[in-house]
Chains A and B, each alone.
Chain A
Amino acid sequence: MKKILVLLLLAVVGFYTAETFFDIGFGKAPFVKSSEIKPVKDVYLHQTVQELKVANAVTSIVVNFRGFDTLGEVTVLFLSVTALGSILYKKRHHVGERSVLFSASSIVTSGSKLLFPAIVLLGAYVFIHGHLSPGGGFQGGVIIATGFLLMLLAYENYSVSHKGLAIVESLAGITFAGVGLLGFMNGGTFLQNFLATGTLNDLFSGGIIPIIYIAVGFKVAAELTGVIYTVLNEKGEQHG
């Protein structure tokens, strides 16, 4: 009975959603009423090239036009890490000791030791070149966290220093907020650009955008490594 009711509800929701998107159409240019009003997209794309000198438009939107959103997002991520730690808290008898079913073979351990620097280097490359090519702070941070995950899975006594994670994360957060506040000192708004923008498609271009994205990369990497480490150290009542 409940299933029928749910299916009926979902059919109604699905029908109206599908109808709405059918009216919008797939792959068309946005509909504009008069020639005086430009879509937001055109303004952003124009300013990205002309004023900010950033090659990747998604980066310029995430860091500059919607930079305040990104600050909020990083805060939400920080809050979720805090919530995870406090929900899973218990008075542990063996701190830092993980339950493993069987230890990894020597092929896995030496292979992951070989791969780990390469993964971290790839992550750093991705967030340093965030304003030139696809990628950025979030992607690079996640890639670095994946490298730490590999090490944590391969070595059963590999541990990440919580104090180090906290320091990296706080410094990155302070850099983000501080660079944003420096915009006020130059008579502008929060996250206003105050450095020279350089030329398009140059590594040192875009003013403060690469600095902020590097800070975001470090912050995301530290936070996600903290999430994985906390959950991996969770030890249920084991039965095998």
Chain B
Amino acid sequence: MDSTYFQYLDYAVYGTAVLVMLIGLYAALVKKSLLKIVIGLSIVDSGLNLLIVTLGYIKGGTAPIFSPGYNGTQAMVDPIPQALVLTAIVIGFGVTAVALSLVIRLWRHHHTLYIDEIKNLKW
């Protein structure tokens, strides 16, 4: 985009990432169903990953891979956020799996997922 008219549209990716994060946080804070809370947390995860990868992007850059077709002069995208996000996605799956197993266990015990019903702390 060479003209300055589109300058602010460039920030659309950041805006979307922050917005998706906020929508997920809203679900995690307001909703009363445990499964909806876990869904909200996984949405926050998606938004955060997009935010971190976008930080390393450079306009006109290529992917950080020195394949035989690389001419040696073109700028490369920052690989460090990509490596961090690679880790974060796999860990996020582990977190979601443990959270869902806790949900199943609570359902087995209380037969409800409505968090106002689950009051007694002793299982």
Contacts and interface: CB of A to CB of B under 8 A. Distances in A.
A84 B104 CA distance: 11
A14 B20 CA distance: 10
Nearest to A134: B65
A77 B94 contact: yes
Interface bin, chain B:
35 or more
Contact of B83 (A61, A200, A227, A234): A61
A224 B104 CA distance: 19
A58 B83 contact: yes
A55 interface: yes
A237 B108 CA distance: 8
A56 B65 contact: yes
B51 A44 contact: no
Contacts of B104: 88, 234, 236
Contacts of B105: 87-88
Given A18-B15, A87-B102, A62 B83 contact: yes
Contact of A227 (B26, B29, B63, B97): B97
A138 B90 contact: yes
B65 A87 contact: no
Interface in B51-88: 51, 54-55, 57-59, 63-68, 75-76, 78-80, 82-83, 86-87
A66 B65 CA distance: 18
B118 interface: no
B87 A87 contact: no
Given A21-B14, A200-B66, A220 B90 contact: yes
A41 interface: yes
Interface in A49-73: 49, 55-58, 61-62, 66, 69-70, 73
A175 interface: no
A158 B13 CA distance: 44
**What 9 A-B pairs are tightest by C-beta distance, nearest first?**
A80-B94, A27-B59, A57-B64, A61-B83, A57-B79, A87-B101, A21-B14, A26-B10, A55-B66
9 contacts: A14-B22, A17-B18, A21-B11, A26-B10, A28-B58, A28-B59, A41-B80, A61-B80, A133-B65
